[in-house]
Amino acid sequence: MVIKLNPGAVITTPGNSVENKTGGWRSLRPVWDKKKCTQCMICWTYCPDISIPQKDGKRLETDFDFCKGCGICKQVCPFHAIIMEKEKK
């Protein structure tokens, strides 16, 4: 991505943070067990980075372009459907 360096660091194309993939910061990776998941959506509510997408009231696979591996989803899941594994990349 080419960034235009306006004086004062003004960004004239707001909302462009989707182009800046930040998932590379992750050292732990949430692994989602679909069988244990009851679709209670607590993880979706708590994810601070909107990295758990949803469709028709059901969560989908974590968006690894932005998930930073904070582990909050694992912490709040009442059904132990998420475990954190060491990122291998």
Partner 1 sequence: MKKVTEASQAVAEAVRLCRPGVIPVYPITPQTHIPERIADFVNNGEFDCELIYMESEHSAISAAIGSSAGGARTYTATASQGLALMHEILHIVSGMRLPVVMNVANRALSAPINIWNDHQDSISARDTGWIQLYVESSQEALDTTIMAFRIAEDKNVMLPIMVCLDGFTLSHVYEPIDIPDQKKVDNFLPKFTPLFKLDPKAPVTMGPVGFPDTFMDFKKQQQDAFDASLNIIKKTNSGFKKDFERSYGDGLVEGYMLDDADYVFVGMGTICGTARVVIDTMRKKGNKVGMLKLKCFRPFPEKEIIDSLSKAKAVAVFDRAVSFGHKGPVFSEIASAFCQAGKRPVLHSFIAGLGGRDVTLDHIEGAFSRIKKEKLPVSEWLM
Binding site for partner 1 (CB under 8 A): 3, 5-12, 14
Per the structure block, which two tokens stand in for 41? Answer: 């959506």
Residue type, 58: K
Give the nearer residue to partner 1 in terms of CB position, either 10 or 57: 10
What is the DSSP annotation of 45-76? Answer: HH-TT--S-EETTEE-S--TTT-----HHHHH
Give the nearer residue to partner 1 in terms of CB position, either 11 or 60: 11
Shortest spacing between CB 3 and partner 1, in angstroms: 6
Contacts of 79 (CB under 8 A, 6+ apart): 36, 37, 38, 40
Shortest spacing between CB 4 and partner 1, in angstroms: 10
Shortest spacing between CB 11 and partner 1, in angstroms: 4
Give the nearer residue to partner 1 in terms of CB position, either 20 or 75: 20
